[in-house]
Amino acid sequence: DADVTQTPRNRITKTGKRIMLECSQTKGHDRMYWYRQDPGLGLRLIYYSFDVKDINKGEISDGYSVSRQAQAKFSLSLESAIPNQTALYFCATSDQGQGEQYFGAGTRLSVL
Amino acid sequence: GQNIDQPTEMTATEGAIVQINCTYQTSGFNGLFWYQQHAGEAPTFLSYNVLDGLEEKGRFSSFLSRSKGYSYLLLKELQMKDSASYLCAGRRTPLVFGKGTRLSVIA
């Protein structure tokens, strides 16, 4: 089983809809991250959390919100989806040591 | 700023050696990661350098010079399966990723 699991793997939605992407991990890490990846732009950080009570904005948080329901779960919501949020979304985790990040398999989101 | 620069694309021949460079501003990072990402898949960890010098792991090696703000990933005996993007990331909390270098290995 994957250590970092993202659901769904693919999602097609319409403009204006609210959607949630979920991430769960079995690595026991405190730190969790959400990124989006677009061709030519690399990985861009949306939000990150260092523990259940901690939420921090990344470089592109507008239009997104997150919830850290438990150490193992970190959800990303698009309150009102728009077409330029079409992208590949990755969740990642890390511990407090070396800081190496472990990524989920990704969610491919299309907003029509 | 904490910009990380990498070439956008590279092409190399199967069986050859290729070096992918990464440069960054010298302050702010206390280590340098390299990740491999195949198209449409998750990035996976390749190497980590915290001290100056070369770290070797099989066909892959990574080098760091902290004073020069410079790192490279060296891939030897290239195989077709090495065609992927290679991401350089500065160690800070959270990590700072470069935009990646897309490597194409041709026969």
The DSSP letter of residue A85 is G
Helix (H, G, I), strand (E, B) or coil at B2: coil
Residue B26 pLDDT = 65
pLDDT digits (tens, 9 = 90+) for A54-86: 999 999 999 999 999 899 999 999 999 999 999
State residue B1's pLDDT score: 45
**Each residue's pLDDT tens digit, A21-60:** 999 999 999 999 999 999 888 899 999 999 998 999 999 9
List Cα–Cα distances, A94 to A29, A31, A84, B30, in angstroms: 6, 5, 28, 16
- pLDDT at position A98 is 76
Calculate what percentage of chain A has a pLDDT beyond 70: 98
SS3 A64: strand
Residue B91 has pLDDT above 80, yes or no: yes
The pLDDT confidence band at residue B2, using thresholds 50, 70 and 90, is: low
On chain B, the residues whose CB falls within 8 A of the CB of A47 are none
Q: Which of B93, B96, B101, B102 to mutate to test the interface with A (most CBs of A within 10 A)?
A: B93
- Give chain B positions within 8 Å (CB) of A103: 42-44
Q: What is the DSSP string of B51-94?
A: SSEEEEETTEEEEEETTTTEEEEEE-S--GGG-EEEEEEE-SSS
Cβ-proximal residues to A59 (8 Å cutoff; 6+ apart), any chain = A44, A45
What are the pLDDT digits (tens) for B31-86? 999 999 999 999 999 999 999 999 999 999 999 999 899 999 999 999 999 999 99
Mean pLDDT across B20-37: 89
